Structure 1
Amino acid sequence: MAYDRMESATYLASLLARGFSRQLQERGRKLGFAPGQFPVLAELWNEDGLTQRQLIDRLDAEQATIANTLARMERDGLITRRPHPTDRRTRQVFLTDRGRGLRDEAMTAARAADDALFVGFRRFERALMLEYMRMAIANSACAPADISAHRDAETDPGGEHGPDSPR
Structure 2
Amino acid sequence: MSNVLDKNPMRLIGMVSRSFSRLVDLPLRELGLTVSQLPVLVTLKNFGAISQGELARAVRVEQPSMAQLLSRMERDELVQRVLDPADGRSRLISLSALATCQLPKAKRVMDQTCSQALEGLSAEEQMLLHKLLLKVDANLNRALEHIQQANK
User: Counterparts in 2 of 1:86-101, with a 5 A limit?
Assistant: 86-101=86-101
Aligned match of 2:54: 54
- Structure with the higher fraction of residues in helix conformation: 2
Counterpart AA for 1:75? R
Contact 1:137–1:143 under 8 Å retained in 2 = no
Aligned match of 1:135: 135
CA distance in 2, matches of 1:68, 1:125: 38
Aligned match of 2:78: 78
Matched residue SS, 2:87: coil
Contact 1:44–1:50 under 8 Å retained in 2 = yes
Deviation larger for 9-18 or 81-90: 81-90
CA distance in 2, matches of 1:60, 1:29: 23
Runs (4+) of structure 1 exceeding 4 A deviation are 3-6
TM-score when scaled to structure 1?
0.76
Matched residue SS, 1:32: coil
CA spacing shift, 1:43–1:89, aligned 2, 3 Å: same
CA distance in 2, matches of 1:117, 1:105: 19
Aligned-pair CA distance for 1:62: 0.9
Aligned match of 2:147: none
CA distance in 2, matches of 1:99, 1:112: 20
Aligned match of 1:68: 68
Structure 2 unmatched runs, 5+: 145-152
User: Could you tell me the percent identity over the aligned residues?
Assistant: 27
Structure 1 unmatched runs, 5+: 145-167
Matched residue SS, 1:50: coil
Deviation larger for 134-143 or 65-74: 134-143
CA distance in 2, matches of 1:9, 1:63: 29
Contact 1:19–1:117 under 8 Å retained in 2 = no
Contact 1:6–1:12 under 8 Å retained in 2 = yes
Aligned match of 1:112: 112
Give the alignment's Cα RMSD to 1 decimal: 2.1
Alignment size in residue pairs: 142
Aligned match of 1:152: none
TM-score when scaled to structure 2?
0.83
